[in-house]
Structure 1
Amino acid sequence: MTDSPKPRARAADKRRRLTTAAARVLHEQGVERTTLADIARVADVPVGNVYYYFKTKDELVQAALSEHSANLEELTRELDRLPNPRDRLKALIVAWVDQRDIAARYGCPTGTLAVELDKRADGTLDAEVGTVIRRLLDWAGDQFRALGLPDPEDLAVTLVSAYQGMSLLANALRDPDIMIREGARLARWLDSLRAP
């Protein structure tokens, strides 16, 4: 007799719900203020079950980072369907601006996590969040390179820095309109860039 696929499917669903909840709750509350019970409540999973899937809060933070990485991968895969790299970059800006209310309330999910994890003494998870940000920089650099622009890595840093800045300001001032104005400015900047 073999194991039924239903229990495995339910277990995978529970783990998925916990991972998604961890990403959301850690973004909204921060690592230090979040408890395993908070994540269990949002995931609609008994708190005792959390320990079955994640032994420590750090494991949940790693799961949240995996969720952020998967979301970025999904977004860039969708953007890569656009035929023109400039259009891809502009669509990225639109995606950022579309998240303006969340950014104004909680900041950038990956950026705020990076800042919080950097202040911890162990220094392991902050390197993992840096990997997620590096993926975005690499993707943006590839788009600038495809446009034939000089210094594509530096242009990628400018773009991502602008996003982090507008996200931070929108959050600090609780003003989502900052994202709209700065997103429009970034789109104009992209339009102004020409290959030599």
Structure 2
Amino acid sequence: MTDSQGLSRAEAAAAKRRRLTAAAAKVLHEKGVERTAIADIAQAAGVPVGNVYYYFKTKDELVEAALAEQTGHLDALTARLGELPDPRDRLKGLVTAWVDQRDTTARYGCPTGTLAAEIDKRPPGGLDESAARVVRRLLDWAADQFRQLGLPDPDGQAVTLIGAYQGMSLLANALRDPEIMTREGARLLDWLDGLPVGTPRLR
């Protein structure tokens, strides 16, 4: 069977789930877990509230979906950056992407960082581990770029880079000042440019 737009029932259901997942990521980023109601996500997705419960039984499931959406965005970004031949340019592209989001970051903070900080207040063993996997994915990608550059301690270099991003995101959000992202992003670009050239490793 198909609906009025020519989609099969399964395709229509998948499209609605994707819409809800994207809405969950946006609303949870903007309002936080505790201040977000299921009705907020339904409204953002343009579906009746009852439809949300068909796909997601609890708010925690929506948080998981939001984290999966963030993972998808991260994977898409790193895939685009992976087309650049130089690992240093990939890392600089990551910083540029952060700075490009400065207005949103100044208003709402880092999507994953703010969500991770909020759910960390809960008992361990649940959503905190899901948030950690998103952060670990970014750390591992950054470490791989430093490793390809032949630099020492690539994992430590990755922590320095991602830690700097989380710090400038927090300050930009706390002070509602997007230019913090601009200035600190420029410092990170200078830092990356100034790193010594090691013995490059094949991918």
What corresponds to 1:89 in structure 2? 91
For residues 106 and 154 of structure 2, the distance between their equivalents in structure 1, rounded to whole angstroms, comes to: 29
2:123 paired with 1:121: yes
Deviates more, 1:179-188 or 1:5-14: 5-14
Q: Which amino acid aligns with 2:104?
A: I
Contact residue 31 and residue 116 of structure 1 kept, 8 A:
yes
Question: What does residue 33 of structure 2 align with?
Answer: 31
- 1:20-42 per-residue CA deviation (whole Å, 9 max, x = no partner) reads 00000000000011010000000
Aligned with 2:150 (options 127, 148, 153): 148
**1:120-172: CA deviations, max 9, x gaps?**
12541011100000000000000001111000000000000000000000000
- Tell me if the contact between 1:79 and 1:92 (Cα under 8 Å) persists in the aligned partners: yes
| Higher-helix-fraction structure | 1
Counterpart contact for 1:117–1:123, Cα < 8 Å: no
Q: Distance in 2 between matches of 1:108 and 1:101?
A: 11
For 1:75 and 1:166, the matched residues in 2 are separated by 20
Per the alignment, residue 103 of structure 1 pairs with: 105
- The question of whether the paired residues in 2 share the 8 Å contact of 1:137 and 1:157 is answered with yes
Normalising by structure 2, we get a TM-score of 0.93
Query: Is the Cα–Cα contact under 8 Å of residues 144 and 152 in structure 1 kept in the other structure?
Result: yes
Q: Does 1:54 align with 2:71?
A: no
DSSP 3-state at the match of 1:119:
coil
- Percent identity for Structure 1 against Structure 2: 69
How many residue pairs were aligned? Answer: 194
CA distance in 2, matches of 1:186, 1:10: 44
What are structure 1's unaligned runs of at least 5 residues?
A: none
Aligned residue for 2:161, secondary structure, equals: helix
Is contact 1:150–1:195 with CA below 8 Å preserved after alignment?
no
More divergent stretch after superposition (46-55 vs 4-13): 4-13
**Local SS of the residue matching 2:13:** helix
Q: Which runs of 5+ in 2 are unaligned?
A: 199-203
The C-alpha deviation readout for 1:87-136, integer Å capped at 9, x for no partner, is 00000000000000000000000000110010012541011100000000
CA distance in 2, matches of 1:122, 1:49: 30
Output the TM-score relative to the length of structure 1: 0.97
Q: Hey, what's the Cα distance between the residues in 2 that align with 1:44 and 1:12? A: 15
- What is aligned with 1:40? 42
